[in-house]
């Protein structure tokens, strides 16, 4: 017999009754029934109930065993009494009478319990992650992650992509976040960087003549943490293709993403790739207040400025006299009560606004009436025009925000989400996808008037050189994101592979030719040697698994995550380097002022 087990803790069933078996695992739960000891023995695969009475030769030893001790037992498989069968587990028809016991690893008093669903502070969970990971939900999350990655790899190979690995230690290359720098011992005073993404390398792979590349790539960015973003590192499905247009990339990645969500989505509806909307960046901001809209929420915002211009509501009327301002309405079907409207007004105040104007429509017996401060100020004719534009009726409401769109769009987007959630308008049993396209390449700083990149500087501008010779704020890129249920899952672009276009694009943003050649020399030089048109994208593995696992925090699907302050509490990182290490690297730490 094997030294530790003849079966796993999920394999035994009624056909094994009478067998002598050996199992190893952790003591999940102990029950003392007056002289009978029952233990749920757990391993990675499942649970088997093992038991002993005073006739067992190891009964006295078994009484010393505590939760999460790692043990090996030998025993006889017995059928459970029919009234004691546990139909919830595969081994529920049997139990094992223990005849021999070996303690493989005793456990001290536990800082957190593995059995049960008790909540623990995140600090405790991350400091003792090896215990936290023993919990059932965490085991399921990590298995799901592994299975998702395996499925993605198979699907990419089936589409004739080949997997290539790109360097982890490389040169600094700005990708929109801070680099993690690595000092060089052999070249004092110089630094490598951990790649924020394999962006330049995958483009160079295309220049090298490989037609389709993919990689499950680790990426490193020194970012501020969010619930859906790790502050240090993450993994993405990275892919690139030659001789493609934007739609070719969509047609390639969409079935992969949809297939993974169908396979692991637990029966929830997955929109077919052919049904995925393509929404311009500007329309997404207008309709949803976000470039990653949750389309399970049917609410679509609209511009209603004309109904407030010159109206009796002075705040909006005067606002509209300023250049670049507008008023937007957030329809709220079924939200037509003063109580709900007051609650949303309070939400706006919590977001830092003075409030949020509203109108709601109610039945007064003799017909519909518009109620609320705005209705009184602008009068029935304008109120009725708003109602008709928004397609609302009795029992509905609308909320209003005004100003320069970039200033209020984020709050409007969050308000839309809250309204949809509170009114029960969101289809929770669905994964809703949409491509966000036509991103502007440039933006203007309102204070300095300086033109800079708003989005990916490596995107091919729509219209080529002709577009770059016009108004920079009108230039759109062949850049795209894929949104799902309010999260950005995929980001990509058709690349600017022409040296003259590349120099012109950077020149508009104030970067001279020498700076471009210095910062992106390898890519720029390679484009002079027959670069093919190419494009691709990257899909966030962590976010995909987070959505599939129904988790609100990305740390729940990462094996060993950092905390909110980018600290590894378990490994005590970051840590102080030894003096010898600093000397070897020719570095000195400058003390921070307290």
- Rounded to whole angstroms, the Cα distance separating 499 from 283 reads 32
Residue 243 domain-assigned?
yes
Query: How far is the C-alpha of 384 from the C-alpha of 406, rounded, in Å?
Result: 28
- Neighbouring C-beta atoms of residue 266, cutoff 10 Å: 9
Q: Is 534 left (phi over 0), alpha (psi -120 to 50) or beta?
A: beta
Residues 178 and 233 in one domain: yes
The rounded percent of the chain whose pLDDT value lies above 70 is 99
| Separation between Cα atoms, residue 345 and residue 373, nearest integer Å | 12
Tell me if 222 is assigned to a ligand binding site. yes
- 303 and 397: one domain? yes
- Residue 301 sits in a domain whose CATH number is 3.30.1360.30
Report the b/e string of 305-338 with b at 16+ CB within 10 A.
Answer: eebbeebebeebbebbeeeebbbbbbbbbebbee
- pLDDT tens-digit readout, 114-167: 998 889 999 999 999 999 999 999 999 999 999 999 999 999 999 999 999 999
What are the distances in angstroms from CA 55 to CA 51, 76, 95, 366, 536?
A: 11, 14, 16, 85, 68
Does pLDDT of 594 surpass 80?
no
DSSP strand pairing (326-332 vs 269-270): unpaired
Residue 362 C-alpha from the chain's centroid? 40
User: Does 267 appear as a known binding residue?
Assistant: no
User: Is 270 part of any domain?
Assistant: no
Domains contained in the chain, number: 3
Quote the CA–CA distance of 453 and 473 in Å, as a whole number.
10
Is the domain of 238 the same as that of 189? Answer: yes
Asked if residue 221 belongs to a known ligand binding site, the reply is: yes
132 labeled binding residue = no
Mean pLDDT of the chain: 94
- Please report whether residue 383 resides in a domain: yes
Given 82, 105, 128, the domain boundary residue is 105
Give every CB contact of residue 381 below 8 A, 6+ residues apart in sequence: none
Cβ atoms within 10 Å of 105's Cβ, excluding its own: 9
Q: Are 255 and 305 contained in the same domain?
A: no
Q: Is the pLDDT of residue 462 over 90?
A: yes
What confidence tens digit (pLDDT) does each residue in 214-234 have? 999 999 999 887 778 889 999
Whether residues 100 and 153 fall in one domain:
no
pLDDT band at 35 (very low <50, low <70, confident <90, very high): confident
pLDDT class for 175, splitting at 50, 70, 90? low
User: Do 147 and 100 have their domain in common?
Assistant: no
pLDDT classification of 592: cutoffs 50, 70, 90: confident
Start-end of H helices in 277-403: 281-288, 305-308, 314-319, 338-350, 373-390
Which token pair is 434?
């949409």
Nearest Cα residue to 302 out of 332, 264, 270, 328: 328
Question: 307 labelled as ligand-binding?
Answer: no
455 carries a ligand binding annotation:
yes
CB 416 within 8 A of CB 330: yes
Lowest mean pLDDT among 89-93, 289-293, 450-454, 545-549: 450-454
CB contact set of 210 (below 8 Å; sequence gap of 6+): 162, 164, 242
**Residue 580 counted as an annotated binding residue:** no
Helix (H, G, I), strand (E, B) or coil at 575: coil
C-alpha distances in Å from residue 48, one per residue of 32, 59, 88, 90, 95: 16, 18, 12, 9, 7
Distances (CA, A) of 308 to 287, 305, 407, 453: 19, 5, 19, 34
Domain of residue 253, residue span:
138-264+459-501+516-558
439 is a domain residue: no
543 carries a ligand binding annotation: yes
| pLDDT score for 58 | 94
519 assigned to a ligand binding site:
no
Q: What is the CATH number of the domain that holds 74?
A: 2.40.50.140
- By the 8 A CB rule, do 133 and 559 touch? yes
Looking at the structure, do residues 547 and 496 belong to the same domain, yes or no? yes
pLDDT of res. 429 = 96
The verdict on 303 and 377 lying in the same domain is yes
More confident residue, 143 or 457: 143
* Residue 592 counted as domain residue: no
Exposed/middle/buried for residue 361 (C-beta within 10 Å: 0-12, 13-18, 19+)? buried
Residue-level pLDDT at 360: 95
Do 399 and 310 fall within a single domain? Answer: yes
Q: Which residues pair with 73 in a beta bridge?
A: 23, 101
Nearest 5°: CA angle at 506, between 222 and 278?
A: 75
For residue 490, give the CATH number of its domain: 3.30.930.10
Domain co-membership, 253 together with 302: no
Determine the pLDDT at residue 25.
98
Calpha distance 98→110 (Å, rounded): 25
Once rounded to an integer, what is the mean pLDDT over residues 255-269? 98
Residue 342 to residue 333: CA distance in whole angstroms = 16
**pLDDT for 513:** 92
Alpha-carbon distance 212 to 253, whole Å?
Answer: 12
Burial degree of 540 (CB within 10 A; 0-12, 13-18, 19+): buried
Q: Within a domain: residue 273?
A: no
pLDDT for 500: 95
pLDDT the model gives residue 174: 60
Q: Specify if 301 maps to a domain.
A: yes
**Residue-wise pLDDT tens digits, 55-92:** 899 999 999 999 999 999 999 999 999 999 999 999 99
Are the C-beta atoms of 375 and 385 separated by less than 8 Å? no
Residue 415 scores a pLDDT above 80: yes
178 is in an annotated binding site: no
Same structural domain, 372 and 470: no
Tell me the average pLDDT across 25-38.
93
Tell me: is residue 357 an annotated ligand-binding position.
no
CA dihedral 7→10→15→20, nearest 10 degrees, is 30
Tell me the C-alpha distance between 101 and 61, whole Å.
Answer: 8
Q: Same domain, yes or no, for 407 and 307?
A: yes
Q: Which among 243, 387, 228 is positioned nearest to 302, based on CA atoms?
A: 387
pLDDT at 77: 97
Tens digit of each residue's pLDDT (9 = 90 or more) over 343-373: 998 999 999 888 899 999 998 777 889 998 8
Identify the weakest region by mean pLDDT among 222-226, 325-329, 426-430, 582-586: 222-226
Residue 279 is assigned to a structural domain of this protein: no
């Amino acid at each position: 017999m094997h030294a530790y087990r003849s079966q796993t803790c999920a394999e035994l069933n009624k056909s094994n009754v009478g067998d002598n078996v050996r199992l190893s695992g952790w003591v999940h739960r102990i029950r003392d029934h007056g002289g009978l000891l029952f233990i749920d023995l757990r391993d990675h695969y499942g649970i088997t109930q093992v038991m002993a009475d005073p006739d067992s030769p190891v009964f006295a030893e078994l009484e010393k065993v505590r939760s999460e001790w790692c043990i090996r037992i030998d025993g006889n498989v017995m059928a459970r009494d029919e009234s004691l069968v546990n139909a919830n587990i595969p081994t529920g028809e049997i139990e094992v009478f223990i005849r021999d016991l070996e303690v493989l690893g005793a456990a001290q008093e536990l800082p957190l319990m593995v059995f049960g669903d008790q909540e623990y502070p995140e600090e405790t969970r991350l400091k003792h992650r090896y215990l936290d990971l023993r919990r059932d939900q965490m085991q399921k999350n990590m298995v799901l992650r592994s299975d998702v990655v395996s499925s993605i790899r198979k699907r990419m190979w089936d589409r004739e992509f080949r997997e290539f690995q790109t360097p982890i230690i490389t040169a600094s290359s700005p990708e929109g976040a801070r680099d993690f720098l690595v000092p060089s011992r052999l070249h004092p005073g110089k630094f490598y960087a951990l790649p924020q993404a394999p962006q330049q390398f995958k483009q160079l792979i295309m220049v090298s003549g490989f037609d389709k590349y993919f990689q499950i790539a680790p990426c490193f960015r020194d970012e501020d943490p969010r619930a859906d973003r790790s502050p240090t590192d993450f993994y993405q499905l990275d892919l690139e293709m030659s001789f493609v247009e934007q739609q070719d990339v969509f047609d390639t990645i969409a079935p992969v993403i949809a297939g993974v969500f169908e396979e692991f989505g637990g029966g929830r509806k997955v929109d077919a790739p052919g049904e995925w909307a393509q929404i311009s960046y500007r329309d997404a901001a207008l309709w949803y207040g976000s470039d990653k809209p949750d389309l399970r929420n049917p609410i679509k915002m609209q511009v209603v400025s004309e109904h407030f211009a010159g109206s009796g509501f002075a705040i909006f009327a005067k606002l509209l006299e300023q250049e670049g301002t507008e008023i937007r309405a957030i329809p709220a079907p079924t939200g037509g009560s003063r109580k709900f409207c007051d609650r949303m007004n309070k939400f706006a105040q919590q977001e830092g606004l003075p409030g949020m104007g509203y109108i709601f429509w109610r039945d007064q017996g003799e017909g519909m009436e518009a109620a609320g401060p705005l209705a009184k100020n602008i009068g029935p004719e304008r109120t009725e025009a708003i109602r008709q534009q928004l397609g609302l009726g009795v029992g509905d409401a609308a909320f209003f925000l005004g100003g320069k769109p970039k200033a209020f769009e984020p709050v409007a987007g969050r308000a839309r989400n809250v309204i949809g959630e509170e009114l029960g308008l969101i289809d929770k049993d669905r994964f809703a996808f949409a491509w966000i396209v036509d991103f502007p390449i440039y933006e203007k700083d309102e204070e300095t008037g300086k033109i800079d990149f708003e989005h990916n500087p490596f995107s091919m501008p729509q219209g080529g050189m002709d577009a770059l010779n016009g108004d920079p704020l009108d230039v759109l890129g062949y850049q795209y994101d894929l949104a799902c249920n309010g999260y950005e899952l995929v980001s990509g672009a058709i690349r600017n592979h022409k040296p003259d276009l590349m120099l012109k694009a950077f020149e508009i943003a104030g970067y001279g030719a020498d700076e471009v050649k210095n910062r992106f020399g390898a890519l720029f030089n390679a484009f002079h040697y027959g670069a093919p048109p190419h494009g691709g994208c990257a899909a966030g593995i962590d976010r995909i698994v987070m959505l599939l696992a129904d988790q609100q925090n990305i740390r729940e699907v990462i094996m060993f995550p950092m905390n909110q302050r980018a600290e590894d509490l378990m490994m005590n990182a970051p840590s102080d380097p030894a003096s010898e290490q600093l000397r070897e690297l020719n570095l000195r730490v400058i003390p921070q002022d307290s």
